[in-house]
Structure 1
Amino acid sequence: MKYAQIPLGPLQTNCYLLAEEGGSCLIIDPGGEDGKLNQYINEYKLKPIAVILTHAHFDHIGAVDAVRNKYDIPVYIHEKEASWLLDPALNGSQRFQYGEPIRLKPADGIIAGESAMQLGAFSFQVLETPGHSPGSISIFLKDAGIVVAGDALFSGSIGRTDLPGGNHEQLIKSIHDKLMVLPEETIVLPGHGPATTVGNEMDSNPFLNGF
C-alpha cells in the first residue's frame, strides 16, 4: 500500500490518500481545496472508493460533499459525530469563520463502536480514540503498518481538548490504551504536521511522559 499526505484547507489539514495496487484508494479527511485533491487523484490515476472521517471538525470536512459528488462514493463517520456534518455550530465552522458555515449531507455509513472494516481491497481496524472530540477515531491498517490518528496524536504533541466535547484525560487514555499499544514501528499519520512512529512518540513526546 502507498499513501500520500496532502495538506488542504484553511488550516492545512492533512488529507490522506491510501492506495492499493491497481489504483483504488480511500480518501481520509478531505478538509478543503477539492480541486487540488482532484488534480492529485487524476495525476496518479487513482480510483476513490470511499471517504472516511477521523472526526467532524470543520477543517477535516470542508471538501466532503464535493468529493462525494464527483466520485459518487460513500462517506463514513463515527455515530457520535454524524450530526456534526449538518450543523455548523457543532463542526466549528460557525465559530471559527474561515469561510461559509459548513452544512453537509448526512453520512452514508455510520461507524458504531470499534470493529474491523472491509472496503474494497482495504482491511482495517477502527479504533475509538476520543478526547479531541467525542467521536474521534483512528484507522489502523495492520498489514501496512500505518495508523491514521486524526487529531489525537501528533509528532511531539497531542490534540487540543478545549473545544466542545474535548476532554484531556480521555485523550491521554485513548492514546495510551489504543495507540501506544501498537507496534513501535507503526507509522502514525496525524491530522496536522509530519508523520511519526509509535516508538518515536513513546520516547520523546513530552505529553506522554511515563509511557
Structure 2
Amino acid sequence: MILERTVAPVFGANCYVLAPGPSSQAVVVDPGAGAAPGALSLLLSHGLSLGAVLLTHGHADHVWDTSALIEAARERGAVAPGEGQVPVYVPAPDLYRLDDPSGTTGIHLATGTSFADLAPGPWRRPGDVRPFPEAGFSQPVELVPGLAIRAVAAPGHSEGSSLFLLEAVLADNALMREAGAGEEDPTTADQERGHLIALDGDVIFKGSVGRTDLPGGDPVQMLGTLRFLASAISPETVLLPGHGAATTMAHEHRGNPYLAEAKVRGGDLRA
C-alpha cells in the first residue's frame, strides 16, 4: 500500500495520499490551501490516478485546493480513466460548508484577514460533491478499488467531523516511524506488516485536540466524542491528524490531557 503526506502551506494542514499500490487509483485526503502541487507530485511519482477526494470535515484549511488538485491531475493525465468528475466525499453534516468554506469556518485574524485572503486563489466548489456513503459508518466501503474505508462520526470540532479507519499493509513507512509504530529492528524494517490507521482530521492531535470555538463547534460534544473514542479505538491505532505529527491512540492515552479529561467528564453537560 502507498501512504504518504504533504503539508499545505496555509495553516500547515496535512494532506494524505492513499492507494492500494503503484499504478492504481488513489484517494487524496484533505487537500488544503496550497496542497495541490505536493499531492499531484505524489500521485505522479507512484504512477497513480486520482480516483476520489475524501474530506474529514468541511473547514476551509482542509478543503480549499480540492478543485485545483482535480484540475491539475486532469491536465497531467492523472485522473482515473472513465471518470467524468472526480467524486469528492465529505460527511453529510458538513456538506453545506463547501458552498462557502471561508465564511462557514469563521476564521478571522486580528488584522481582519479571513481565510480566503490567505489562500493562494479563490474558492471553487468541486463539480461532484457527495456525502460520505451512509453505509460506510457501519461497514467498510471502497471509494476506489482495493481501498476499504470505514467512518466513525466524531462531532465537536465541526458537526460532521469524522474519523476514517482503514487497514494498511506497509513496509518501512515514514508516517509509521513518526508515530512510533514502525519496525524497530532495522534488519526487518523492509518487511510488510499490518497497521490500523485512523485519518482523524482535527479531532485528536498529538497531545491536543481540535478547537471547538468555531461556528458549529461544541465543547460538550467534543468531550463525548473523545470519551467514546478512548474506549472504542484500539490503542494500537495510528492516528494521522489534520495538523502536526502522526501519533498512536496508546500515546494519547498516556500523554493527552484533553483525552484524560474526557474519559472522566465526557458527556457531562456541566463540562
- Structure 1 residue 107 displacement after superposition: 4.5
**What is the distance in 2 between the residues matched to 1:18 and 1:175?**
26
Give the number of aligned pairs. Answer: 211
Tell me if structure 2 keeps the 8 A contact 1:14–1:29: yes
Tell me if structure 1 keeps the 8 A contact 2:107–2:214: no
Q: Larger Cα Rg: Structure 1 or Structure 2?
A: 2
Q: Structure 2 counterpart of 1:17, which letter? A: V
Alpha-carbon displacement from aligned partner over 1:129-175 (angstroms, at most 9, x marks no partner): 11001111110114541000000000000001110011112112112
**What is the distance in 2 between the residues matched to 1:145 and 1:54?**
17
Structure 1: gaps of 5 or more residues: none
Could you say which residue in structure 2 is the equivalent of 1:32? 33
- Structure 1 residue 197 displacement after superposition: 0.3
**What is the distance in 2 between the residues matched to 1:11 and 1:5?**
15
**What is the distance in 2 between the residues matched to 1:9 and 1:111?**
27
- Structure 1 residue 111 displacement after superposition: 2.3
Q: What does 1:14-163 align with in structure 2 at a 5 Å threshold?
A: 14-22=14-22, 23-33=24-34, 34-69=36-71, 70=74, 71=79, 72-87=85-100, 88-92=102-106, 95-96=114-115, 97-99=117-119, 102-105=123-126, 107-111=128-132, 113=134, 114-116=137-139, 117-119=141-143, 120-142=145-167, 144-163=195-214
**What is the distance in 1 between the residues matched to 2:250 and 2:222?**
18
Could you say which residue in structure 1 is the equivalent of 2:191? none
Matched, 1:170 2:221: yes
- Structure 1 residue 115 displacement after superposition: 3.5
Give the stretch that moved more between structures: 134-143 or 172-181.
172-181
Describe the shift of the 1:107–1:170 C-alpha distance in structure 2 as closer, same or farther (beyond 3 A).
farther
Q: Structure 1 counterpart of 2:38, which letter? A: K
Q: TM-score, normalised by structure 2?
A: 0.71
Q: Report the identity percentage.
A: 31
**What is the distance in 2 between the residues matched to 1:136 and 1:107?**
20
**What is the distance in 2 between the residues matched to 1:62 and 1:8?**
10
The structure with more strand, counted as a fraction of residues = 1
**What is the distance in 2 between the residues matched to 1:154 and 1:104?**
28
Q: Structure 2 counterpart of 1:5, which letter? A: R
**What is the distance in 2 between the residues matched to 1:150 and 1:18?**
15
Describe the shift of the 1:101–1:169 C-alpha distance in structure 2 as closer, same or farther (beyond 3 A).
farther
Could you say which residue in structure 1 is the equivalent of 2:266? none
**What is the distance in 1 between the residues matched to 2:29 and 2:241?**
11
Alpha-carbon displacement from aligned partner over 1:22-43 (angstroms, at most 9, x marks no partner): 4332100000321222122212
RMSD: 2.1
Tell me if structure 2 keeps the 8 A contact 1:93–1:102: no
Give the stretch that moved more between structures: 138-147 or 198-207.
138-147
- Structure 1 residue 112 displacement after superposition: 5.8
Tell me if structure 2 keeps the 8 A contact 1:129–1:152: yes
- Structure 1 residue 48 displacement after superposition: 2.1
Give the stretch that moved more between structures: 184-193 or 58-67.
58-67
Name the SS for the 1:145 alignment partner: strand
Structure 2: gaps of 5 or more residues: 80-84, 109-113, 169-194, 264-271
Tell me if structure 1 keeps the 8 A contact 2:142–2:148: yes
**What is the distance in 2 between the residues matched to 1:92 and 1:98?**
13
- Structure 1 residue 50 displacement after superposition: 0.6
